A and B are shown apart, each in its own frame.
Chain A
Amino acid sequence: MEPVEILSHTGGGVISVAWLMIALPLIGAAILLIGGRATNKWGHFLAVLMSVAAFVVAALAFFQLIGLDPAQRRQSVHLWDFIPGVADIGLLIDPLSIAFCLLITFVGSLIHIYSIGYMSHDPDRRRFFAYLNLFVAAMLLLVLADNYVALFIGWEGVGLASYLLIGFWQYKPSAAVAAKKAFVVNRVGDFGLLVAMFIIFAQFGSLQFAEVFPAAGEASQGVSTAIGLLLLLGACGKSAQLPLQSWLLDAMEGPTPVSALIHAATMVTAGVYLVVRSGSAFFPEGSTAGLVVTIVGVATLLAGAIIGTAKDDIKKGLAGSTMSQIGYMMLAAGIGPAGYAFAIAHLISHGFFKADLFLGAGSVMHAMNDEVDMRRYGGLRKVLPITFVTFFIGYLAIIGFPLLSGYFTKDGIIESVMHHNAILGWLAVVGAGITGFYMTRMVVMTFFGPKRWDEKAHPHESPAVMTWPLIILSVFSIGLGAYLILSNRLMVFLAPAVGRPEELPHFAPFAVTGLATLALVAVGAGLAIVKYGRAEVPVVQPRGSFLTVFARRDLYGDALNEALFMRPGQWLTRFAVFFDNRGIDGVVNGLAAGVGGSSGRLRKIQTGYVRSYALSIFVGAAVLAGAWFVVGTL
């Protein structure tokens, strides 16, 4: 089944004012940034209010949308003329964008609330909330845009928010470097997105989804593949997929709520959004571009999981896990309409349980004086009971424990990929096993076993403003997967926007792949319990085998980048600067000196000589002019 036609919205209802979703948090950010210290006292409440208000608008728009006939559920709302002849600013309200809006504003609001407690001691809390609001606005523009240019504004807008928030504690050099790295690596991806837009415009004379998507089939195979691969490059940058994954682990320098919202639940999934949104046009089932998407997805899901096994920093462990889980989504998005609903279902359920896990990690850090080394945790379940229970639910959800969220959504991905390509499917099963290992390791090292922290640490449970968001997120981590997957609820809902397979899949709880996945997860979890639960965990990181070091060093991704790009880049820069000073300038100075009839270096010239120089040049030009007249009259 193909997606339905994008209609022009003719007015009425919340859809007409859907722009409020973007405007409200944007106004919030502007007030907090321009208002300055005057807004310190109440700024965070305003930010929360704006985020919640955006959620209300999203929810109302959702209800209006489901009240419409499925064929009417893709509406484009024109806002204003942007670049005449190229693109306008407009919003596309359809099931896909609204699903994202609900996720972004709901999880976003919970994280705003949580941050009131988490950032309560930070002197710059107001600025933090301003950036969070800015992020929400940009992210909503990204998913709501009805053309690629407006999407790109949101796309780089979230990149800016990410840059500002990773570097929020900018006085730490590591944070400043991580922020810059994230932006630059993302720009490499954006290069792909930009060139994709150039090709699309050259082909179709438009960048509006409503005009490009229906015409996409008329482009040649090669052009379609090129557009698909370039869009994928953009997606890889934003979603930290191989080969542009290196920034995400460093991005953990940002405050933990940022890691939860931007670097787990929402922004990093924008690449999946881009692929699914453009799917019917540039990644059709069986296309080369789609195949590359699945390969990138599988490679990243394995790489992220392997990195996750070796990290002692709880946030970096979760970051590796995020890479890996987005790899699953990419994998599903690459196979076409059969996978879109599962990719988005996993994206949504992951948004909840990963936010739950990250905020849980933040709660642990809050209790432990910002310690992130799990080797210095241990036995925290008794001191942090609420954090423990909510984290544990998130843990069960992510490893795919039966009946919890991840069980349904990840199993859906594995099952649909298995039909498409068995090798990719089995690799995804292996990934699930590794997930079982690294997540169990994390839970065991943090909450079980003997305590490995100093009495002076005084760990304490977080305040209610932080625990309530955890509780709500964990409740969703339990039931959301079942809700979205059973009776193909999400697939049917999304069908007008992304299409769906002719035959709806059946949920088969006792299929071979499902059982094999569960078995491998159990093995992974068991290994972790034996290694970290039964044996003693050394407080100081042991040297580790070759493989462990390989994983700890992020599979040498940074080393590779340094050898391939950074060092040659530095040499090139030095050479260029030298060449510019000596080469070009030297030649020109020499020429100038020659023209002036002086052999001295130009640097020595004082203003007194200007007249003589000017005169000699003027004479030269007069001679030239004279010569022209002579030649001209001949």
Chain B
Amino acid sequence: MLELPWLSFLIGLSVVGAIVVAFLKNDKVAKQTTLGVSLLILVLTVVMAVQFSPNGDRFQFAETYDWIPSFGVHYAVAVDGIALVLILLSAILVPIVVLASWHDAEQGKRSVRTYFALLLVLEAMMIGVFAATDVFLFYVFFEAMLIPMYFMIGSYGGAQRSYAAVKFLLYSLFGGLLMLVAVIALYNVADKNSFLFPDLIGAVTDPTTQKWLFLGFFIAFAIKAPLWPVHTWLPDAAAQAPAGAAVLLVGVLDKVGTYGMLRFCLELFPDAAKWATPVVIALSVIGIVYGAIVAIGQTDIKRLVAYTSISHFGFITMGVFAMTTTATSGATLYMVNHGFSTGVLFLVAGFLIYRRGSQFIADYGGVQKVAPLLAGAFLIAGLSGLSLPGLSTFVSEFMVLLGTYQRYAVPAIIGTTGVILAAIYILWMYQRTMNGPTAESVAEMKDLNGRERWVVAPLIALIVVLGFFPKPLLDVINPAVKESLVNVKVTDPAPVVAVKEGQ
């Protein structure tokens, strides 16, 4: 095919779709249009991904236009393997979320079509943020993403939605504005009259300046990810958001944080990143164990899932900062797999909660007997949450731990205890909701209907297939990660025995 402006087209299509949906009169048509547009975007994204050549240039499908020439701001988009798989993740999740949210917006403060329009706006932002290769453009998407999510939580969420939405917004704004300071400072210090990412690599050499700029970016990303101890907004936001929004929040938006660390913190400020690594690894390990322990103690299903994600984000940041090919590729793959895995977990939990009208674990029991398919889907989703081998999440968790161990043995070993804790939080939740005698309040519960099966089936299929055959994704991710690590100037530790042979 010709050199088409793929990325701009995908972003534009979502925006146009959102505008059309917002002005439709009929809610049902609005839903169908949203589904159609998101499916079209998915197809186009897949077509684009197939044309991506893993061993070609690092950044492909590049477009660069001047935006504010006097400040060197460009509209510049392109993808490398890392950005590509995250855009794929977003494009796959949106139609599934649309289908899953079919009735979720009916109780909202605003209209149904607004909710679906917001979903498409969010999709445009998600593609844009991963595709942006101009740091200023990235910042714009990074901040603008907050707006649709803020309204989705604040207008369509649960009982405490206002509190949750405000908390989400305040945390994010705080981080975002620190980043703005750092972005502007970076522009000044680099003195290249350009915000383009490739221009800025290696531009900041002074160690102290690097450290300050690193911190500005890092704190913003740490809040976004979120990393312990700035994680407390997530359980509130995820628990109050409608299930579909929670999926995009935890599955994709939070990944912007871990993606940003890998792309900007590591490559733009490599020395500062190495300087900060011990602290980041320590925070990650604390997050892994702490998130898992707090998850065990939760009484609310959605909060529980949110805390499991805090534990999982610990794995991702640990893998990013371990800076070995295996760990960092594993962390990137983790971002994708976690999106599918937590996605299906939130969605099935949403189906369950929709039926019973309660988020509390104690209000359930013995659902397996009355709704075996729902229970089965919940179990598979849970098993992917505890990284069962044979499911995709295992591959990425194993790579992160294996790769981290090569450089930081003790943190990797402590992190591995997360494997045991994961079994406890998932299976205990499953036992309390699905096993035992059937609670009276769920005795009439209906099993998954056709629409819900279409929501769950593709995600489970992806989780299983990628569990046995992760190579297509890894083939795309690996070269990009290797190039990133070259920019950071690190090399993988060699095996002990092979070193002996070489002497």
Q: Using CB atoms and an 8 Å cutoff, list the residues of chain A in contact with chain B.
A: 33, 80-86, 89, 149, 152-153, 155-157, 160, 163, 167, 170-173, 175-177, 179-180, 183-184, 187-188, 190-191, 194-195, 197-199, 201-206, 215, 218-219, 223, 572-574, 576-577, 580, 584-585, 588, 592, 595, 602-603, 605-607, 609-610, 613-614, 617-618, 620-621, 624-625, 628-629, 632
Whether the Cβ atoms of B423 and A184 lie closer than 8 Å is yes
Q: Does B88 contact A (CB under 8 A)?
A: no
Knowing A81-B471, A157-B389, A173-B437, say if A573 contacts B297 (CB, 8 Å): yes
What's the least CB distance linking A40 to chain B, in Å?
A: 13
> Which range holds the interface residue count of chain B?
35 or more
Knowing A602-B167, A614-B169, say if A160 contacts B298 (CB, 8 Å): no
Q: Does B48 contact A (CB under 8 A)?
A: no
What's the least CB distance linking B166 to chain A, in Å?
A: 5
**CB-contacts of B151-174 with A (<8 A):** 154, 162-163, 165-167, 169-170, 173-174
In the complex, the chain A residue whose C-beta lies closest to that of B498 is A205
Whether the Cβ atoms of B497 and A610 lie closer than 8 Å is no
What's the least CB distance linking A210 to chain B, in Å?
A: 15
Complex interface: chain A residues within 8 A of B169 (CB): 610, 614
Whether the Cβ atoms of A183 and B181 lie closer than 8 Å is no
**CB-contacts of B235-293 with A (<8 A):** 290, 293
Partner-contacting stretch, out of B39-47, B57-65, B344-352, B428-436: B428-436
Whether the Cβ atoms of A86 and B500 lie closer than 8 Å is no
Whether the Cβ atoms of A188 and B297 lie closer than 8 Å is no
Complex interface: chain A residues within 8 A of B383 (CB): 160
Whether the Cβ atoms of A170 and B174 lie closer than 8 Å is no
Add 19 more A-B contacts to A203-B497, A204-B498 (CB < 8 A). A33-B376, A83-B398, A83-B399, A84-B475, A86-B326, A170-B434, A170-B436, A180-B428, A202-B493, A203-B496, A215-B497, A577-B297, A588-B232, A602-B166, A607-B162, A610-B169, A617-B174, A621-B178, A624-B181
Whether the Cβ atoms of A149 and B420 lie closer than 8 Å is no
Complex interface: chain B residues within 8 A of A609 (CB): 166
Whether the Cβ atoms of B181 and A198 lie closer than 8 Å is no
Q: Does B413 contact A (CB under 8 A)?
A: yes
What's the least CB distance linking B427 to chain A, in Å?
A: 4
Q: Does B229 contact A (CB under 8 A)?
A: yes
In the complex, the chain B residue whose C-beta lies closest to that of A579 is B294
* Complex: A90 Cα to B163 Cα, angstroms: 53
Complex interface: chain B residues within 8 A of A83 (CB): 395, 398-399, 470-471, 474
Q: Does B189 contact A (CB under 8 A)?
A: yes
Whether the Cβ atoms of B399 and A576 lie closer than 8 Å is no
Report which of A81, A85, A614, A628 forms a contact with B173, defined as CB distance below 8 A: A614
Whether the Cβ atoms of B423 and A573 lie closer than 8 Å is no
Complex interface: chain A residues within 8 A of B496 (CB): 202-204, 219, 223
Knowing A86-B399, A171-B436, A205-B498, say if A588 contacts B412 (CB, 8 Å): no
Whether the Cβ atoms of A85 and B326 lie closer than 8 Å is yes
Whether the Cβ atoms of B497 and A204 lie closer than 8 Å is yes
Contact flags (1/0) for B387-409 with A, using CB distance below 8 Å?
A: 01110001100110110011001
Whether the Cβ atoms of A84 and B296 lie closer than 8 Å is no
* Complex: A606 Cα to B164 Cα, angstroms: 10
Q: Does B468 contact A (CB under 8 A)?
A: yes
Complex interface: chain B residues within 8 A of A606 (CB): 162
Whether the Cβ atoms of A171 and B185 lie closer than 8 Å is no
Q: Does B443 contact A (CB under 8 A)?
A: no
In the complex, the chain B residue whose C-beta lies closest to that of A609 is B166
Complex interface: chain A residues within 8 A of B493 (CB): 202
Q: Does B495 contact A (CB under 8 A)?
A: yes
* Complex: A53 Cα to B325 Cα, angstroms: 42
What are 6 A-B residue pairs whose CB atoms fall within 8 Å in the complex? A83-B471, A156-B390, A201-B495, A572-B293, A577-B298, A625-B180
Whether the Cβ atoms of B177 and A218 lie closer than 8 Å is no
Whether the Cβ atoms of B185 and A205 lie closer than 8 Å is no
* Complex: A190 Cα to B422 Cα, angstroms: 13
Complex interface: chain A residues within 8 A of B424 (CB): 184
In the complex, the chain A residue whose C-beta lies closest to that of B418 is A191
Closest 8 CB pairs of A and B: A205-B495, A621-B177, A176-B435, A198-B405, A577-B297, A573-B297, A153-B389, A585-B232
In the complex, the chain B residue whose C-beta lies closest to that of A623 is B181
Report which of A81, A202, A584, A614 forms a contact with B406, defined as CB distance below 8 A: A202
In the complex, the chain A residue whose C-beta lies closest to that of B212 is A628
* Complex: A584 Cα to B185 Cα, angstroms: 31
* Complex: A206 Cα to B326 Cα, angstroms: 12
* Complex: A171 Cα to B434 Cα, angstroms: 9
Complex interface: chain A residues within 8 A of B438 (CB): 171
Whether the Cβ atoms of A574 and B297 lie closer than 8 Å is yes
* Complex: A202 Cα to B498 Cα, angstroms: 10
Complex interface: chain A residues within 8 A of B184 (CB): 625, 628-629
Whether the Cβ atoms of B290 and A576 lie closer than 8 Å is yes
* Complex: A218 Cα to B167 Cα, angstroms: 56
Q: Does B33 contact A (CB under 8 A)?
A: no
Whether the Cβ atoms of B166 and A610 lie closer than 8 Å is yes
Whether the Cβ atoms of B494 and A584 lie closer than 8 Å is no
* Complex: A155 Cα to B419 Cα, angstroms: 15
Report which of A153, A176, A204, A617 forms a contact with B436, defined as CB distance below 8 A: A176
In the complex, the chain B residue whose C-beta lies closest to that of A80 is B469
Whether the Cβ atoms of B468 and A218 lie closer than 8 Å is no
Q: Does B95 contact A (CB under 8 A)?
A: no
A176, A199, A203: which has the most chain B beta carbons within 10 Å?
A176
Q: Does B417 contact A (CB under 8 A)?
A: yes
Whether the Cβ atoms of B290 and A156 lie closer than 8 Å is no
Report which of A187, A201, A584, A588 forms a contact with B402, defined as CB distance below 8 A: A201
Whether the Cβ atoms of A191 and B406 lie closer than 8 Å is no
Whether the Cβ atoms of B290 and A194 lie closer than 8 Å is no
Knowing A84-B471, A156-B389, A585-B232, say if A632 contacts B185 (CB, 8 Å): yes
Whether the Cβ atoms of A176 and B166 lie closer than 8 Å is no
Complex interface: chain B residues within 8 A of A152 (CB): 389
Q: Does B55 contact A (CB under 8 A)?
A: no
**CB-contacts of B336-394 with A (<8 A):** 366, 368-369, 376, 383, 388-390, 394
* Complex: A607 Cα to B161 Cα, angstroms: 10
Whether the Cβ atoms of B495 and A202 lie closer than 8 Å is yes
Complex interface: chain B residues within 8 A of A191 (CB): 416-417, 419-420
Q: Does B230 contact A (CB under 8 A)?
A: yes
Whether the Cβ atoms of B437 and A218 lie closer than 8 Å is no
Whether the Cβ atoms of A603 and B177 lie closer than 8 Å is no
What's the least CB distance linking B445 to chain A, in Å?
A: 15
* Complex: A161 Cα to B301 Cα, angstroms: 25
Q: Does B188 contact A (CB under 8 A)?
A: yes
What's the least CB distance linking A384 to chain B, in Å?
A: 33
Report which of B180, B232, B326, B474 forms a contact with A621, defined as CB distance below 8 A: B180
What's the least CB distance linking B299 to chain A, in Å?
A: 9
Complex interface: chain B residues within 8 A of A223 (CB): 496
* Complex: A609 Cα to B162 Cα, angstroms: 11
Knowing A170-B435, A183-B423, A183-B427, say if A607 contacts B232 (CB, 8 Å): no
Contact flags (1/0) for B467-483 with A, using CB distance below 8 Å?
A: 01111001100100000
Contact flags (1/0) for B174-198 with A, using CB distance below 8 Å?
A: 1001101100110011000000000
What's the least CB distance linking A332 to chain B, in Å?
A: 29
Whether the Cβ atoms of A171 and B419 lie closer than 8 Å is no
Whether the Cβ atoms of A607 and B165 lie closer than 8 Å is yes
Complex interface: chain B residues within 8 A of A203 (CB): 495-497
Report which of B402, B423, B468, B494 forms a contact with A86, defined as CB distance below 8 A: B402
* Complex: A375 Cα to B446 Cα, angstroms: 44
Complex interface: chain A residues within 8 A of B388 (CB): 156, 160
What's the least CB distance linking A521 to chain B, in Å?
A: 40
In the complex, the chain A residue whose C-beta lies closest to that of B233 is A588
In the complex, the chain B residue whose C-beta lies closest to that of A620 is B177
B174, B290, B383, B478: which has the most chain A beta carbons within 10 Å?
B174
Knowing A84-B478, A171-B437, A607-B154, say if A613 contacts B419 (CB, 8 Å): no
What's the least CB distance linking A23 to chain B, in Å?
A: 12
Whether the Cβ atoms of B435 and A194 lie closer than 8 Å is no
* Complex: A620 Cα to B178 Cα, angstroms: 10
What's the least CB distance linking B349 to chain A, in Å?
A: 19
